[in-house]
Amino acid sequence: MNTKHLNYYWIIPILLLLIFLFEYYMTLSYMEEMYKYTNAEVRTEAIIQQKNSFYIKFIQDLVFIVLQFIGCFICLNIGLLFFNYKVKIKNILKAITVSFLAIVIVQIVVIGIVKFSNLTFTVGSLQSIEDKLYVTNYINNLNIPTYLLMPLDIISLTHIVFVLLLAYAIKLLIKKNYLKSLIFTAKTYGVGVAIWFVFAMVMEMNFN
């Protein structure tokens, strides 16, 4: 089993931390520059607001990462056992960790869009670009039933890239070609996502 590429999994958490720190630094630097000619009280209040907004965004992203990691781990374990693949748990954990490179890639794209589109480098701008990467932004004009549109609201470019990277990592674990690994990913992790779709749809209907 050739899993040597997965041995660099430890780089991913470092990259995630660096990308969030970079966003934090750029956000505060922009606020300092924007309010440098205002009085200290106004500038301090604006910076504190941005800090609080960033902390909230960071916590939300962190919770999502943890939940996605746990869900993915459970789904892959069940799938590997069901299809009789003998894979060490540590290799499964490595594969999932490597897949979170998707967040780094997409965040770099988001930062690039904000920077080169002359947008204000604030938490609001980052979130607005991230929101545009969701699938529903491109299918709202189509005649799609609401019960299908609601669960699709959680699928973004980050999620798609994550699945593609996860399929590559699984390819290294089960020693199949990429297409078969992608199908396996759909059968395992995809089932978990489908269950989440149903849960999200039921919750949405119950609270509306």
Query: pLDDT (tens digit, 9 = 90+) per residue, 92-151?
Result: 999 999 999 999 999 999 999 998 888 889 999 999 999 888 887 777 666 666 666 666
Residues contacting residue 67 through CB under 8 Å, at least 6 positions apart: none
Rounded to 5 degrees, φ, ψ at 205 are: -70, -35
DSSP 7: G
CA 117 – CA 136 distance, rounded (Å): 23
| Burial group, residue 41, by CB count within 10 angstroms (0-12, 13-18, 19+) | exposed
Tell me the pLDDT tens digit for each residue of 69-102: 998 999 999 899 988 888 889 999 999 999 999 9
pLDDT in tens, 10-51: 999 999 999 999 999 999 998 888 888 888 888 889 889 999
> Cα separation of 171 and 177, whole Å?
6
DSSP state, residue 80: H
- Per-residue burial over 178-189, b = 16 or more CB atoms within 10 Å of its CB, e = otherwise: eeebbebbeebb
Closest by CA position to 163, among listed 144, 177, 178: 178
Longest dimension (CA), the chain: 67
The domain ranges of the chain are: 4-206
Rounded to the nearest 10 degrees, the angle between the axes of helix 178-206 and helix 157-174 is: 140
Q: What pTM value is reported for the model?
A: 0.85
112 class by beta-carbon count within 10 Å (0-12 exposed, 13-18 middle, 19+ buried): exposed
